[in-house]
Structure 1
């Protein structure tokens, strides 16, 4: 099952303080907008999203259709196909993607320890 690019989305209390901290670890801002309370940072292939006031928990994020640089892939497994495959295995889906649509969509699953996993397709 190909889930696409991986990042961790961190629920931060102060965007600027968190940005400064992760820059000291070698991360550089490559996307996002502080005016909308989020930034995307990268160190090599490692991607961290900093999100202030958007959600309560840290989230594991997969982006079908994207590589680790946020560039579109030539071929990928659509988010709706991933959702169907997980449902067939008995995994409960939260915030389901509408399987009658195409293009951008997302869904969430919760792992056995309560960690949210967002599968978020942008293309």
Structure 2
């Protein structure tokens, strides 16, 4: 049984995206995606990915992207976000914000670990 929940990254709630971008560049990260004019960037260093988000959510969160590898390339097969949501629910995990089970394609849902850390399962395809 496939246990993959997608490519992993950390999504950071930042106060000033330009300052954060400059800081992470000093650590060796480079801009991989996003739009700084919309206050979000995806940065990478080797196979480590972080997202910088200014004013989009309250807490830092773990993020998983079903159907993608760490270069945002499609992987097949992959487990759809709605299937993952139902598997998590059947395992007793509380779904905080649900993906529409009647939809297809891009969707996301949010859960929290026992310490209140948000985990976003975010499918882009």
Scaled to the shorter chain, the TM-score interval is over 0.9
Q: TM-score, normalised by structure 1?
A: 0.98
Q: 1:35 aligns with which of 30, 34, 37?
A: 37
How many correspondences in the alignment? 123
Give 3-state SS (helix, strand or coil) of 1:76's partner.
coil
Give 3-state SS (helix, strand or coil) of 1:84's partner.
helix
Map 1:72-83 to 2 at 5 A. 72-83=74-85
Map 1:51-90 to 2 at 5 A. 51-90=53-92
RMSD: 0.6
Structure 2: segments with no counterpart, 5+ residues: none
How far off is 1:74 after superposition? 2.0
Name the counterpart of 1:3.
5
Structure 1: segments with no counterpart, 5+ residues: none
Distance 2:41 2:98 in 1: 25
Distance 1:84 1:38 in 2: 29
Distance 2:18 2:37 in 1: 11
Distance 1:76 1:67 in 2: 11
Q: TM-score, normalised by structure 2?
A: 0.96
Runs of 4+ in structure 1 displaced over 2 angstroms?
Answer: none
Distance 2:71 2:32 in 1: 9
